[in-house]
Structure 1
Amino acid sequence: MIRTAQVGASERSVRVMLYSHDTFGLGHLRRSRALASALTASDPSASAIILTGSPVAGRFTFPERVDHVRLPGVTKLPDGSYVSQTLGLDIDETTALRSGLIQTAVEQYDPDLLVVDKEPTGFRGELLPTLEWMAKRKSARCVLGLRDVLDEPAVLAAEWERKGAVDATERFYDEIWVYGPRSVYDPTQGLPLSDDTRKRIHWTGYLRREVTDAAETPDVPYVLITPGGGGDGQAMVSLVLEAYETDPTLTPHAVLVYGPFLSGDVRDAFDARVAKLNGRVTALGFDARIEALFAGAEGVISMGGYNTFCEVLSFDKRAVIVPRTVPRLEQWIRASRAEELGLVRMLDEKRDGMNPQTMVKFIRALPSQQKPSQAGADGLLDGLDVVVDRATALMAAR
């Protein structure tokens, strides 16, 4: 349990701040929300603020004593560059604005613990002024949180060198929390971290998920189809629809959740195809209560994002993972390792072929798959408990 922080001779409630840059997708925000929920639940007086650039942060519910600050959003273009979403500022001006807002929030909230998701220096280095300021004051503990897989080692090493991320990790962070088991994968392999920094790495295990908000679910058996945020899920969604179009006898029915970033003409075209399937596939736009849909599903077809994988394990669902391979190999590495361990099946484009007949075969085989629990998944899901223990120890030693 987190304990109240000592301030001179008095006490005050613990304050936790979590930073997730969220330039694209939902992963960083959803991971931060799960962490904030666990940390505040462990102490009825603790509070947490999430700093996020997610454009859909306002569509999520947050637990009591957890709030969020929305940073100005940015959009990643196909060439890898970024632009401001709405403000008419160039990217340098937008980054400077975000950086100032972050530092002001930290100065005013005065957290006891700052948990930074994935990017040691923040988006385009926006965290560095705040980290320098905090290091001089020595007022809070800083933790870098990493998902179980980041990218292939050589690519990750080049990226971290370009961003100055290794130096920032060495200088500013008291601990590194890897939100996965070391037995599955080491996301820091290939990074030139010092021995002293590596001693500060703690593998927490995966972050268990629960149904936090009730939602209506179909009263017939269904397979849940989810591309996560949906921004890069067009190919997977199209392939599933092709499977149901190709085989009129394919069961069970499917519930397709597009995600908030699959929209416009692309979604309209998918909706037209769904309408022709006579109710065998039901499509939803975005549901922040997707945990309830996971819990009720017969099986899952998804991409290989971190949060979706945690939900597959947490709700013990037979799953077929269709990982993306660009711009990162993260999802493919996670899915292939999980398949080796017997936790899921992976549909690999080079090995299996991305065609509707293959997808039909995988969906039909779902009932005969073993559940993740049969491969020992329950022993991999201690992440939130370990995070609470580490946070308590860090702040007690301040």
Structure 2
Amino acid sequence: MPNNHPRILIYSHDSFGLGHLRRCRAIAHSMVGAMDTLSVIILSGSPIIGSFDFRSRVDFVRVPGVIKLRDGAYSSHSLSLGIEEMLRLRASIIEHTADVFDPDIVIVDKEPLGLRGEVQPTLEMLKERRCRLVLGLRDVMDDPASLADEWERKHAVAALEELYDEIWVYGKAEVHDPLEGVCVPDGVRDKMLYTGYLKRELPNGDSTAELNPFDEEPFILVTPGGGGDGMELVDWVLRAYEAHERPLFPALVVLGPFMPTEKQAEFKARAEALRDVHVIRFTPVIEKLMNEATAIVGMGGYNIFCEILSFDKPTLLVPRVVPRREQAIRARKAEAAGLLTCLPIDDYPNVERMVDALAELPERQPPSAAGFDELLCGLETINARTEEILSHRKTRMPHYSRLSLVR
């Protein structure tokens, strides 16, 4: 029988960190909220994807995880498999999922061909079926020279020319061009749609009373995102509270699920010695804590930038500069626009600088005071474009996949 229920497949390669997963989840939730017959599957290597709740008609397929080593090489996250064998396994799962699900639209997050090209065979298969192929890019990728070198190695520009129908940039052209410094043909530029930033909403469900120990007292929320590269930020904040140099608002620190276990234990022990600092490992509903907080301290990733705009909180960012300068570029531009304040990580561990920044933070203006309108129109733009694409699709007929059914 024909099937008029449209389908979208979202691919997110990352196994480490929270940024890609949370961005894809926000997009999927917004889409099904706007289109009542749509189904979305997220393909992800995140080991904690099961910790999050998903709306009806959004589901996920988890591919086996990999981790990136300090030397830039990849290794299996938990299975005793070599990386080449792991990549073949992941590519097979990705291709078979796409083959059976047979989506109308595929959205690939950030990496045009996926982790070491793993999604390329799937894209080529779906291109033959006239599936609409979309590459989703955050507002800032990296400094121009580094991105140009990386994309040349990965043959990314050819993929943008030959495979992709559209490129959605989750930001504003007047804020930043993510392809600055990359030599791309005009035809690729013509495919780009700047959507605006992705507004975050409060999740449904229980309150965060069990997570917030400060009751009605104002507090500062400190979040290094996934936590894997946020040890310096947390250490710097704890040093400021340990110094007792100036009165500070209480701090709730969310370490992140990817912070090394030994560092989590160290930070929790230090916090227990402080009356006005509380530490938790992770919550999948951090938006609720952001809404309750008086101010926010973070690192400068795409998600926290969207969140501080959405919840309109005075914010201090301490962006990382390795392995990418993405966070530093975003934070610098946001500070110049009057949206937030920054401390350079090069000042770590200057306690006086952090103490002063934390003491002044609650009195600073929220992002809305800068007077920028329509920054957070990303989800509405994505939904409108998705509905336009789907309105031109023909009635879905049964597709017989390459797979043999298990009897």
Greater mean deviation of Cα atoms: 29-38 or 193-202:
193-202
Structure-to-structure mapping, 1:83-94, within 5 angstroms: 83-94=75-86
Greater mean deviation of Cα atoms: 218-227 or 336-345:
218-227
Gaps of 5+ in 2: 394-407
Spell out, residue by residue over 1:45-99, the C-alpha distance to the aligned partner (whole angstroms, 9 max, x if none).
1110000000110111111110000010001111111111122111111011100
1:345 to 2:320 alignment: no
Spell out, residue by residue over 1:197-216, the C-alpha distance to the aligned partner (whole angstroms, 9 max, x if none).
10110111100001113432
CA shift for structure 1 position 127:
0.5
Task: Select which of 1, 9, 14 maps to 2:6.
Answer: 14
| Counterpart residue identity of residue 394, structure 1 | I
| Conserved 8 A contact 2:246-2:359 | no
| Conserved 8 A contact 1:250-1:360 | no
Structure-to-structure mapping, 1:126-145, within 5 angstroms: 126-138=118-130, 140-145=131-136
| Counterpart residue identity of residue 379, structure 2 | L
CA shift for structure 1 position 27:
0.5
CA shift for structure 1 position 378:
4.5
1:148 to 2:139 alignment: yes
1:200 maps to which residue? 191
1:262 to 2:259 alignment: yes
Distance 2:264 2:372 in 1: 34
CA shift for structure 1 position 364:
1.0
| Conserved 8 A contact 2:232-2:348 | no
Task: Select which of 354, 357, 370 maps to 1:359.
Answer: 354
Structure-to-structure mapping, 1:1-398, within 5 angstroms: 10-138=2-130, 140-213=131-204, 214-216=206-208, 217=212, 218-219=214-215, 220-247=217-244, 249-278=246-275, 280-350=276-346, 354-398=349-393
Distance 2:373 2:301 in 1: 19
Distance 1:80 1:353 in 2: 25
- Number of residues of Structure 1 aligned to a counterpart in Structure 2: 387
Distance 1:370 1:16 in 2: 40
CA shift for structure 1 position 368:
2.7
CA shift for structure 1 position 113:
0.7
| Conserved 8 A contact 1:141-1:395 | no
Gaps of 5+ in 1: 1-6
Distance 1:250 1:67 in 2: 46
CA shift for structure 1 position 249:
4.6
1:4 maps to which residue? none
What is the SS of the residue equivalent to 1:159?
A: helix
What is the SS of the residue equivalent to 1:99?
A: helix
| Counterpart residue identity of residue 308, structure 1 | I
| Counterpart residue identity of residue 324, structure 1 | R
Spell out, residue by residue over 1:270-313, the C-alpha distance to the aligned partner (whole angstroms, 9 max, x if none).
111101102x0010110000000000000001111111111011
Distance 2:164 2:384 in 1: 17
| Conserved 8 A contact 1:84-1:90 | yes
Distance 2:155 2:31 in 1: 30
Distance 2:230 2:345 in 1: 15
CA shift for structure 1 position 353:
5.6
Spell out, residue by residue over 1:142-192, the C-alpha distance to the aligned partner (whole angstroms, 9 max, x if none).
100000100001100110110111111111111100001111111011122
CA shift for structure 1 position 349:
3.6
| Counterpart residue identity of residue 246, structure 1 | A
| Counterpart residue identity of residue 235, structure 1 | E
What is the SS of the residue equivalent to 1:111?
A: coil
What is the SS of the residue equivalent to 2:133?
A: strand
CA shift for structure 1 position 395:
2.6
Distance 1:249 1:374 in 2: 27
| Conserved 8 A contact 2:10-2:41 | yes
What is the SS of the residue equivalent to 2:251?
A: strand
Distance 2:348 2:93 in 1: 47
| Conserved 8 A contact 2:314-2:365 | yes
What is the SS of the residue equivalent to 2:161?
A: helix
Distance 1:153 1:333 in 2: 11
What is the SS of the residue equivalent to 1:12?
A: coil
1:3 maps to which residue? none
What is the SS of the residue equivalent to 1:360?
A: helix
| Conserved 8 A contact 2:6-2:390 | no
TM-score by length of 2: 0.93
Distance 1:286 1:378 in 2: 32
What is the SS of the residue equivalent to 2:374?
A: helix
CA shift for structure 1 position 195:
0.5
What is the SS of the residue equivalent to 1:326?
A: coil
| Counterpart residue identity of residue 386, structure 1 | T
| Conserved 8 A contact 2:246-2:355 | no
